[in-house]
Structure 1
Amino acid sequence: MGKSHSKVPLPRFRRGSRDEYIHECINKRKYYASYIFPSDNDEVDRLTVQHYIFQHIWESNFSSPVKDLLKSGAKVLDVGCGPGVWVLEMADKYRESTFTGIDIVANFPQTIKPENTNFFTGEVKRLPFEDNTFDFVYMRFMMFAITMDDWPEAIDELVRVCKPDGWIEIMERDILWYNETEIVRNWRTRIVDKLREEKGIELIITPHIPRFLYTNDKLTNIKCDEREAKISWGGKIYEAYGKMIIWGAKNLSNAISEIQFNEGEYDYLVDVAIDDIAKNKGYDKSYRFWAQKKIC
């Protein structure tokens, strides 16, 4: 499939020693160099829908034991905040606390936003905050943005900016479907293996996260919980979940373009795969991991 490339400078933001972000335009969609999903309104819409689906599945926005802290006033950081929906909702509910969102691109609100919110551009491996700044540091669905080799360093950064006795929380889901057929498994594995080999991205990351947490000597009280989500069966929310998976998979089309698919074949296989999973009452799982920073 042919691609048209052009580089367009974004507005200037302050982040470390770099002054600007450069987007690459491919098939009329914008991409930031180190992130494989597009950075445009369609992706913002997908991330917003994703937020509300998982809010419903978990019946909460977080699992760490920080409710009392949030009610009395806390400093909170959302790493990889995307359009900032989590920050905005939390800021409205816990008005005594302040919420900061950071993402590699500025798809978050920049002018009209609650007074107890701030947004910055930056990367998880080099968070532009002082040590021991936040009471609660939250990060979710960053497996496409962090390579396998970089995960320990990313967690080190979450811990660094967290206050002693504060909490960090990580939420992820794997590209791993239960009750899938062999045909779907072969297709899915082909993509998972390719991204692992070519880009160092691990799409079955949750089995590794406990090891990253337990080997960090600054963390204690490490916990984990999980939720199952039906894919396109069992009610409207799960029908929407299946559509969101299709949406996300198709927004990955540029990242998997080097895999040998005929023109139109990838999108077709995505649709067929989700339909097949629904017929077999397939599901996947999302996980939350949380831990407390030790008092030195």
Structure 2
Amino acid sequence: MRMHNADETCGIAQAATVLGDWWNVLVLREVARGHVRFDALAAEIGLSRKVLTERLGRLVASGVLCRSLYQRRPVRYEYLLTDAGTALIPLLVAMQDWGDRWVLGDGTLTGTADTESAEHARVHALAGTRLPDGLELPGTRGAALPPVAPDAAATVLFTYPGTGIAWGEPPIPGADGCTLENRLFREAWPDFRAAGVDVRGVSTQLVHEQAEFARAEEVPYVLLSDAAHRLAAALRLPTFRGAGRLRHKRLILVVDGERAVRHVLFPVVDIPGAVAESLRLAGSLVHR
């Protein structure tokens, strides 16, 4: 398609030359989810080998993917996000958020989800999914850490919108209660540890914001920052926009020692009940 002269200096128009193709966007979505090999990409997207080869070539030429050799005989490559590709992850998550709200939903701004919604179906389909290799997030203990504790037989991974936030009027349904949730996990921490279960909390707040909260509340478990939306993209987690940024909706994943999601709690409406249920479910994995 021929571009107008004014488009030569328009960032939107130039980005559209990379993202303006349905298949290109879906390829990037799957790479962000950890499907980085040709056969896995073809299976997830349902593309012919010819079309997928063409799209991968375009994305490599555009500088958003690079090829990494993982097998010599026969030659096989993984397709990895470059820095430019990684910078597209927030855009992919924003596209998903827009689609969930305005195409799949009725336009309502909410921090929760209806049990008949596409978000509900997508999140509950995570059961059996393994978290991608190498995924790490900045943490309150000064180092990037995986969302799942490598030395635990089970991890309870919970996402929440954020603590210490003035949501404004009217309040966003389902967005409050984050401090209560963290306090309940804090109080139950000895029971989780006694059961051999780790706990990790994730929000899109910055690390220093999480660290201030962790110090003030004496949070004993790790809080991780998904401000770059890598976890949201990897698992296609539901989000909403509040107080100026995209935020995770509240959910709980119970993950085993092999990084496979075994149980999903979403939406989380009864916070005390969900914390207790996550302990029960995670404990059952440890003592099988």
TM range (shorter): under 0.3
Could you tell me the TM-score, scaled by structure 1's length? 0.26
Could you tell me the TM-score, scaled by structure 2's length? 0.27
* Higher relative contact order, structure no. (Cα contacts within 8 Å, ≥ 6 residues apart): 2
Instruction: Specify which structure has the higher proportion of helix.
Output: 2
Instruction: Specify which structure has the higher proportion of strand.
Output: 1
